[in-house]
Structure 1
């Protein structure tokens, strides 16, 4: 079949033009703002990409660095952790031991060195003390892991606000960090490495950034090794709390005379308040300042609900008071002296805890201080710089009290005038002249001339001693010459019996200082200490035997009951006979009853003594005794300025009396060990002719100490009786 029209086109879809063809076919205008936007978007994208790359790099470095630091921190913490010893080995951190002194009754009265009262446990210590420490030092102690970022940030803010460096002042340290510092980061004290213990402790307290980082690592190791209570236990045992105390047990004993387990809120607050500045706030230094600090601690305890309002008010109204021993702080001079008498390896440099039993009597010490204070307050002009010292001892040399100056409660190591000051003794030396004479056979009623005397001193020329009042009395008895402290008879007697005999008696009685070689020896031209002189007078009281003044009766280690050193008494060799001593005591009693020492007379008991005043009144002395005690008083200026209107029979005698009234008060009166002369004094002799005076200028032959003495009638009768009895009984 054939078609009739045009052939139709095939059914094929129309081909569409692509984008390129469209553009070619119909080109459009370019949009310039869009292009600029695209370029801008490209720049921002590049910067953003760079920032992102830097952030990614920083983050990568940061987490890797943090990981490295954390790893190093973990390794350091682990290493320290492995080196930490058991808690019990960390409680006593002292490099040296301590010395505790007991008085004659066995009570503690003084401490030296670093005291450690014994180990205490944070779980057993007084809850008030534990709370006071936490409230004051680290309120979040039981919450943190050894370091407190919040506390450090707060400390830095406070330091900057106060104009200091960020690490200067407040440290923000936790109790754990403070304990790490007390442990010196585990580095023990080595005397071969460190110049001194102080240098070692100063290094431990450094506040540098590196030190802080090491301290933080050590704290983390402690937190991993020990429990919170164990860390607090170390802290409570090692913290320094002033007055030589290490640990809260020692401090509680030192200040309050009780255990740290027994302290009450006011006492706990005072102890915790010491942590910020132990020396400044020590209650023995300034009790009011210590109480003010304790009040701050009490308020902190109340704010943190450790105390109720009622408990806090009670603690504020009744602040802590010191124990009797801590309050008195008696015996500082005595304690210093005893420490000097003990071997250094058992005292100042001991590594052990040492107990010293002493002869010290706190009641006598208070009496001596009271007598001295009373005299200066009532009879010495206000503002006077004059000083005084006083020593009291028993007749065997046991020292009971010592006042080395007018500051009774000073710190250890102060100048002790009783043992350190060597001063001329003046007429206080004269009893040794008369002791030598009595031992050589003289009697109290023997006569001696008080007429003018001139001696030729080789190399010095003529020397003429004078009496204090520039008067001459002719012949006087020995008793009168000593009673009125006449100089010329003392020199005559010394020259007659021989200076060497006088010197020997004085030295044997304990005057170890160099003695003058010329005739002025008899007038006390030599220097001596108050302790020496008082000990020598004790020899007169005890019947003529020498004594060595002593204060230590026993030394032992705290952990051992067996004494290492013991002292039963200070009696030594006999110097003069008991008969001579008893006569001398009688002669010295006349000094107090009717001579130059009447101001020392006691109303209810016998007393004997001797005054002494040196040239230009630079030194004034009174030394004397009752039947119970010997006491010596010195008065003068440290720079040797002359005293004004003061002699040995004045203020020193009054100080002696005031002290002895307090010492002997309430005690039964006992008679002095003395003998009255067996015969009456001979009638006064006629004045000697002029040639007698000239003859007296040359020394008489010197009798020797071993030469037979003139027998008294009593001695002769006793000797004859013994010879008869010996013949009858066949004795030798």
Structure 2
């Protein structure tokens, strides 16, 4: 027994085995290791162990092979692409060398005051950069052509895929239509993938550029490699700079600087959002969308560009709305597109190496007065709209010049906006008809015959060798007997003109006409007096200018001076054109001017009269009315008008004193508006009774005092 005081502490296992090693607890049983896929593959040799696995096993083998091949091929392709692109990159010159690589230059023409009115050739307005153009233009180009321009490496797989999808959905080939090209790719194409133009390898620049625009898998592949090379060699801003300078934008404009000047008359740095949108919109179809071709179509495209700029955050909603509400408008010169025939004439008449085949950018200052040019164009349109039957194919031409031959306006046909078209003012050789008669009277006056001298207006026949007798008539088929030279000219009577030409001598008449500028072969027989010889309107008008200036020869001209763009030195001027040698005495010219005022005041040219102005002129109508002329002048300007059909069809009911005189009057009313009347430099002869009659009978000249004087002068026994 034990008491409570003798209680022991209960034994525990640890103490129970003190002094001896405690028995080991049995080790916890480890879970069996899991079999991995690799272990299973090693155990089964990679073969499937299930039915599904056996079914999929061939596909897995194929995928493994494809992967093994593709990543190796991809690596090799990447190395090849990288190598070729790096090669292209190493060949890239500084951008300044390829900004402008035109083989030919351009011609910019300014009018008398220095305002530009015409352009010829591909214009390049000067280098701009992505940072110097207007920010609106920079943004418009990126928004329109390549919104991911700053995020890709030269190619846009998303853009290419989208373009292929659109092309296929519209029934075209995958490479036809939309190209999905980035700005870098487009620039590569503009550079013709680094292939420069070689005149010995290409027929023309047009053929060279057409080849550059070809689309094929090979070209697309090379274009992609070249584009990547550009991304390696140049910064994004440099690539955009190249694009802004090389892109074609219609109307002969190469680059955005030239286009801004061509359409708006300002620099590319100054364009506003509406103008920037219009310029960027031209990139899609430059010739079709050019505002000079169709301003409304161009504005519609610009509205689309404005929407893209707004959607991409380049314009606020307010700015976009303002740009749409106030669309871009052409400059006055671009809108007028005036003086195309005149510009073509200057190009043709100027030296070829500075005009048609220039390798430089040339500035030509001309004699054109745009106010007078508009007057002539408006007059032509007015008469044809109000006085000519609708659908008529009759044509007309107008030339306005100063007394020294400086051409102030030229209209070469009814298509006022044409360029490179047939110019009826300078290229059409037409019979002059009665417009030739003043030179017969000029010859007689120069020999001392009085304007009051009598000439026979009687029927007469001439024997023409190898032909039957020629018996001309007057237009009214009447004969008035003896009349003064002044009346004969005023009424444009044929028989007196023939008699006078025969009496003065055809050779002398030809010399006077040639001296005044009517070149070419003039008729040999008596028909010379009736204007059966041919002339252009320009030359005939120039000949009349010789009458206005007092009897001196005139060479019509349009070029004042020529210089290279950016250089103030004048390389050439009007080259001696203008007033030349004296042909008849000043007194004879002043008397002839007085006689020609009677044509307008009392004769066939009455429809050309303008109240308050002294006007001298002469009508002309050829056989069967195939040509109708009116050439007239005030104290300041000589204006010539021709009307007829290109195919030489006779005009119906038209004479020189009809519609041509109307066109002349409509032109000059506009030209003279607001000006003080300028008196004509004329001399009225002293009033005296007529002293003799000039007539031919059977080819023999009547022997009277005047004829004796003519014989002496013509035979050289007296001097002028």
TM-score, normalised to structure 2's length?
Answer: 0.90
What secondary structure, in the 3-state scheme, does the structure 2 residue paired with 1:611 have?
Answer: strand
> 1:500 is matched with which residue?
507
CA distance in 2, matches of 1:352, 1:381: 47
Instruction: Please report how far the alpha carbon of residue 513 of structure 1 lies from its aligned counterpart in structure 2 after TM superposition.
Output: 2.6
Residue in 1 that maps onto 2:104 = 96
Q: Of 288, 292, 296, which aligns to 1:284?
A: 292
How far has the Cα of 1:556 moved from its partner? 1.2
Mapped pair 1:382 → 2:387: no
How far apart in 2 are the matches of 1:705 and 1:91? Answer: 68
Kindly state the Cα deviation for residue 343 of structure 1 after the two structures are TM-superposed: 1.8
Does the 8 Å CA contact 1:614/1:620 hold for their aligned counterparts? Answer: yes
The alignment status of 1:515 with 2:522, answered yes or no, reads yes
**Residue 555 of structure 1: which of 562, 565, 568 is its match?**
562
CA contact (8 A) 1:159 1:167 kept: yes
Partner residue of 2:432?
A: 425
Q: Among residues 533, 541, 553, which one is paired with 1:546 in the alignment? A: 553
Corresponding residue for 1:369?
377
Take 1:86 and 1:664, find their aligned partners in 2: how far apart are those partners? Answer: 56
Q: C-alpha separation between the residues in 2 aligned to 1:171 and 1:45?
A: 45
Give SS of 1:100's match: strand
Q: 1:477 aligned to 478, 484, 508, which one?
A: 484
Asked whether 1:302 is paired with 2:302, we answer: no
Specify which of 165, 169, 172 is matched with residue 161 of structure 1.
Answer: 169
Question: Mapping of 1:145-544 within 5 angstroms?
Answer: 145-410=153-418, 412-544=419-551
Secondary structure of 2:254 counterpart:
coil
Query: How far 1:60 sits from its partner (Å)?
Result: 2.4
Note the alpha carbon deviations across 1:657-711, whole angstroms, 9 max, x for none: 11111111111212111111024233787x99xxx84464799886666836588
Structure 1 match to 2:611: 603
Query: What is the distance in 2 between the residues matched to 1:312 and 1:259?
Result: 22
SS across alignment from 1:609? strand
- Deviation string for 1:369-423 (max 9, x for gaps)? 112222222222222221110000001111000000112122x111111011111
Change (3 A) 1:590 1:139: same
Q: 1:503 to 1:117 in 2, by over 3 A?
A: same
Shift of 1:350: 1.1
Q: Is the 8 A contact 1:329 1:409 kept in 2?
A: yes
Deviates more, 1:245-254 or 1:470-479: 470-479
Match of 1:634 in 2: 642
Matches within 5 A, 1:540-689: 540-567=547-574, 569-682=577-690
- Correspondent of 1:110 among 104, 114, 118: 118
Aligned to 2:393, the other structure's residue is in SS state coil
Q: In the aligned structure 2, how far is the partner of 1:82 from the partner of 1:528? A: 62
Contact 1:146–1:174 under 8 Å retained in 2: yes
Task: Name 1:4's counterpart in structure 2.
Answer: none
Equivalent residues of 2:342, 2:410 under 8 A apart: yes
1:703–1:427 CA distance, 2 compared to 1 (3 A): farther
Task: Indicate if the aligned counterparts of 2:48 and 2:57 stay in contact, CA closer than 8 A.
Answer: no
Contact 1:440–1:703, Cα closer than 8 Å, also in 2: no
Per-residue deviation at 1:69?
Answer: 0.9
* Residue deviations 1:323-351 (CA, integer Å, cap 9, x gap): 00000111100000000011222111111
Q: Secondary structure at the match of 1:397?
A: coil
Q: If the length of structure 1 is used for normalisation, what is the TM-score?
A: 0.88
Segments of structure 1 that go 5 or more residues without pairing to the other structure are: 1-38, 712-732
The match for 2:716 is: 707
Residue deviations 1:41-70 (CA, integer Å, cap 9, x gap): 599878866555443333222122111111
For the aligned residues, what is the CA RMSD? Answer: 2.1
CA distance in 2, matches of 1:396, 1:682: 35
Retained in 1: the 8 A contact 2:48–2:54? no
Deviation at 1:90, TM superposition (A): 2.0
SS of 1:635 mapped into structure 2:
strand
For residues 393 and 56 of structure 2, the distance between their equivalents in structure 1, rounded to whole angstroms, comes to: 85
- Which whole-Å deviations, capped at 9, do the CAs of 1:230-258 have from their partners, x for residues lacking one? 11111011100000000001000000001
Contact 1:498 1:703 in 2 (8 A): no
Alpha carbons 2:454, 2:691 under 8 Å: kept: no
Kept in 1, the 8 Å contact 2:396–2:414? The answer is yes
- In structure 1, what is the equivalent of residue 31 of structure 2? none
Assess if the C-alpha contact under 8 Å between 1:497 and 1:703 holds in 2: no
- Asked if the contact 1:455–1:697 (Cα under 8 Å) also holds between the matched residues in 2, the reply is no
Q: How many Å separate the matches in 2 of 1:196 and 1:639?
A: 33
> Which stretch shifts more, 562-571 or 415-424?
562-571
Q: Deviations over 1:100-134 (max 9, x none)?
A: 00111111110000000111111121111111111
Q: Distance in 2 between matches of 1:219 and 1:236?
A: 16
Quick check: 1:273–1:297 contact (8 Å CA) kept in 2?
Answer: yes
- Distance in 1, matches of 2:149 and 2:58, equals 46
- The C-alpha deviation readout for 1:559-614, integer Å capped at 9, x for no partner, is 32222211264111111111111111111111111111111111111010000001
* 1:35 counterpart residue number: none
Q: Distance in 2 between matches of 1:289 and 1:423?
A: 41
Q: Check conservation: 2:712, 2:718, Cα contact below 8 A.
A: no
Matched, 1:65 2:80: no
Quote the Cα distance in structure 2 between the aligned partners of 1:571 and 1:145.
66
Structure 2 residue runs without a partner (length 5+): 1-46
Alpha-carbon contact 1:441-1:709 (below 8 Å) kept: no
Other-structure match for 2:7 = none
Instruction: Look up the SS of the partner of 1:234 in the other structure.
Output: helix
Q: 2: distance between equivalents of 1:594 and 1:44?
A: 115
Q: Deviations over 1:599-643 (max 9, x none)?
A: 111111101000000111111100010010000000111111111
For 1:12, the equivalent position in structure 2 comes to none
Structure 1 residue 85, shift from structure 2 partner: 0.8
